[in-house]
Structure 1
C-alpha cells in the first residue's frame, strides 16, 4: 500500500528539498469569517482593546501589569487564543534570560490549538492566521534558544529541527520570509544556522 504524506509532512519535506511554492496565506484566509471561532465578536472587540492596553504597558516596562491583563482575559474567556500568544510573549519579556519561561510553550501550543480550523481544509479568519503565524514564530525562537543551552547539547540538533519546522508553519500563515529562515536553520539545508540566529535576535 502506498503511504500518503500528511499536509504537515509535505510542508517539511518541501522545505528540505526546496518547495516550488509554499502555501500562500490568501488560500487559507476567508475575510468574511468572524475573528475568533470560539468567542463572540462583541467580546473579541473588548479583548482587543484590553490587549492593546497591555502591550502599551509592556512597552513602558510595566510588564507584570500587562501580564495581569492577559491572565484576566484568559480566566474570563479560556478559549480566546490571542491572549495565550500575547501572554507567552509577555512572559518572555519578563524573563529575558530564560530560554523558555514557565508556561510559555504550553501557552503557545494552546494558542495554536484554539486558532486551527475546526475541520481540515476549512479557511480561517485573518485574526486566526495572525495568531498562528505569531505563535509558531515564537515557538521557533524558543526552541532555538533552548538549543543553545549547555545542558541541551545532546538535543541541540533536534531542537534546531523543531525550530525549523515551526518557522515553516509560521510561513503558511504569514509570509515567505519565515519559510526562508526555516530553510536556513534546517541542518539538512546545509546552511549556516548562525544566520538564522542573527535574524531571530530581535525576537528572543
Structure 2
C-alpha cells in the first residue's frame, strides 16, 4: 500500500493488521474477514481415485436423504459404509458427526469432527463445516472461548453461519468499545 504523498513508501501493515485497525476505528463494522476462504496448507492427503470417490458420494447422498427423512440410524449406517470403504474420506466424518449430534451423541460427534479436521486438510468445504459444527457443540457445552475460536476458523474457511457468529460476537464489541475509549483518552 502506498502512503499518500510519497509514491515510493511502502507500508509494513499487513492485510490482517488493516482489518484489526478497521475493527478498532469502526467497531460497529464487525470483524473484516478475508474475501477468499483459506484453502488449507500444502500437506493434503493422497487423492481418492475417481471411481471410489463417485461411489463414496453416491453412498453419502443416500445417507443425507435418510437423515432428511429422520432416519439417523440408517444415515449413520450409510456413512459407516463410506468410512469402511475409505477411512480418509473427511466428508463422511463430517456428515456422520452431524447425525450423531442430532441424536444427542455429542462425544461421538466430536470424535468424528476431529477426524474430519485431520483428513480434511486442504479442503475448505469440509473444514468450514467441521469447525462450525464443533463451535456449535462447544457453545452448547459452555466453552465460549473454544466456540469463538472454532467459529473464527469456520468463518475463515467461508461458512456463513460462522461469519455471522464472529461478526455478532458481544465480547468483540465490548473489546472494541474499550479500545475506542482508550484511544480517545490517549488522543485527549
TM-score (norm 1): 0.63
Aligned pair partner of 1:161 in 145, 148, 153: 145
Structure 1 residue 92: deviation in Å? Answer: 1.3
- Does residue 59 in structure 1 map to residue 68 in structure 2? yes
Partner Cα distance (1:45, 1:139) in 2: 27
What secondary structure is seen at the aligned counterpart in 2 of 1:163? helix
Partner of residue 79, structure 1 = 88
CA gap of 1:22–1:61, structure 2 versus 1, over 3 A, is same
Q: Kindly name which structure, 1 or 2, has the bigger radius of gyration based on alpha carbons.
A: 2
Contact 2:38 2:156 in 1 (8 A): no
Runs of 4 or more, structure 1, over 6 Å off, are none
Per the normalisation by structure 2, the TM-score is 0.67
Indicate which of 115, 120, 142 corresponds to 2:120.
Answer: 115
In structure 2, the residue matched to 1:22 is: 33
Alignment CA distance shift 1:186-1:42 (3 Å): farther
**Partners of 1:160 and 1:90 in 2: CA distance:** 23
Q: Distance in 2 between matches of 1:37 and 1:113?
A: 13
CA-CA distance at 1:24 after TM superposition: 2.8
Distance 1:184 1:37, change over 3 A: farther
Q: Which consecutive residues of structure 2, in runs of 5 or more, have no partner in the other structure?
A: 1-15, 176-188
- Counterpart of 1:178? 162
1:68 to 1:20, Cα distance in 2 relative to 1, 3 A = closer
The answer as to whether partners of 1:137 and 1:166 remain within 8 angstroms in 2 is yes
For the structure 1 residues 166 and 27, does the alpha-carbon distance in structure 2 shift closer, same or farther, using more than 3 Å as the test?
Answer: closer
Q: What CA deviation, in whole Å up to 9, does each residue of 1:124-154 have, x standing for no partner?
A: xxxx21111111110111001111xxxxxxx
- Secondary structure (helix, strand or coil) at the match of 1:61 reads coil
Q: CA RMSD in A?
A: 3.0
Once the two structures are TM-superposed, the CA of residue 28 in structure 1 deviates from its matched residue by 3.3
**Cα distance in structure 1, aligned partners of 2:31 and 2:147:** 22
